[in-house]
Structure 1
Amino acid sequence: MIAVVDDAVGEVRVRRLWRDPKVLIGLCILVPLVLAAVFAPWLAPYDPKQLGGPSLAGPSGDHWLGTDFFGRDMLSRVLFGARTSVSAAAVVGVGVLAIGAPLGVLAGYVGGWVDTLIMRAVDIVLSLPWLLVALALATMLGFGFGTALVALVIVYTPQLVRVTRNSVLAVRDREYVLAARAIGESVPSVLGRYVVPNVVFPILVLLTSMMAYAILGEAAISYLGVGTQPPQTSWGLELSDNQQYINIAAHLTIFPGVAIALAVLSLNFIGDGIADHLGRIGQR
């Protein structure tokens, strides 16, 4: 059987997607940030934990982004903070996808009591303030970067479950899916060939947002002192440690803040580009 999916999301051409202006802008911002995170040990001019420099010095030839109260080089700390934030986005993104997508497909395709059980759990988690849930989980599991990521995966997964489930509901009763069932194709085959390919792009749109939220969430949790712990660094921890010097050394909070904004903006651009491309496909 040849499945003809006229307006399905699976027809999106990835090659055209890469040409979308928003996607290109997002990648132009995101790729340098990722490269900076990966190569931070070689790009950083100093050890981010090295003391002894001038205290609260402004940007100069020796310290391009200045130094903090302890004389540590801010450029080095921002670069190593990028490793934390990029890792948070990647780990939370993979975790949310690995848990949320299968649950959403299961709820949408099987339906019945399975759908009811999964969606009631989703509704309960979504009804609670995400930051309070994340802080409570991080507090119970113990302070640290790893527990912050576990908390973020738990609070963000329900959103992906809901989107995946709704996308599956939109395609499971289409003619090509019903025809595949009628000729006796197995459930894994139907899901793999006709259902999942048509829900990939809605998932990608939300996943980019989830990764942006992960950066913000990790920064917020670290800012409040229950995420990344010294001597490690993150952009949120830099904001927390240096907020008291904002009147005399504003650069200490400006640079980490700008880094967070750029990372989130880049992912939002990519997500918007995918959504726009998805909308154009749906209009055909």
Structure 2
Amino acid sequence: MANSNTQLQAVSEELVVGSFTQKHLDIIKSTIAKGTSNEQLQLFIQTCVRTGLDPFLNQIYCIVYNGKDGPVMSMQIAVEGIVALAKKHPQYKGFIASEVKEADEFEIDMVTGEPKHRIVSMNRGQTVGAYCVAYREGAPNIAVIITRDQVEHLLKGRNAQMWKDYFDDMIVKHAIKRAFKRQYGIEVSEDEFGTAGASAAAVQPYDRKDITPEPGPAEPVQTEPTAAEPTQTDKLRAEMKLKYKKLGITDKEAMAAHMQEFCKMKGDTPTDAELKAYLKIMEMQIQEKQAAEQQSVDTLPE
């Protein structure tokens, strides 16, 4: 019997995926990724291995909620995970970040990234914003300022309770995420690895087309006008409008704020692949909203 237990222990301590043993996987399955299917657990573990993020150090989370078509998994990278990724960069030089309150004296040079922040009273008043300066050896400092009005919509979003209970921490983390994205190119969408970010298939390959005309007689000129076919981008943006309506977002400013928060772009204009990833995030939010509404109906007294 003792020999059998020893053999089982040896199996559980043998590396299965990356640095994870079977024992690790069992713990993750019953705690951090509780409620995941075997396929969802495998995706989460592979994401952890690929990114080097450690769920046991609260660097990455796995959340399962009931969607319209069954359990839906969402993976979220914590600020601890973002900092851990940045520290692997050979030019990492640290950062500073803090909330700013009404009574504080604060100014910052956005070109040099040099803040001056003085707390002149313990009665600091309400939090009006936050900032983060991300440093990098041999590169300009990157400063990010987040004002309270920029995150007001998050007080009604998916993590509304967290924002209400820990507003100072959340707005500072928000500033850190944006600063690290700009300084180190770290993508920090809350659902990045839970949707398109988890698969290379989300990246649309460049389809090269030869536009060199073939020799021969000239083609006749088409004189009748034809209706322009909607592009892939047009279709994606039309779908976005429908999803905004389902989310109850009708104001243009709110739409822009939502897109800025959840559509992670590497350039000034989103690519089709980035819009597709954004649409998947919106769909998960719609499912969450519908589930919450259904739960509210179910709890009403008969």
TM-score strictly above 0.5: no
TM-score of the two chains, using structure 2 as the length reference: 0.21
* Larger of the two Rg values belongs to structure: 2
Query: If each structure's strand is expressed as a fraction of its own residues, which one has the higher value?
Result: 2
Query: If each structure's helix is expressed as a fraction of its own residues, which one has the higher value?
Result: 1
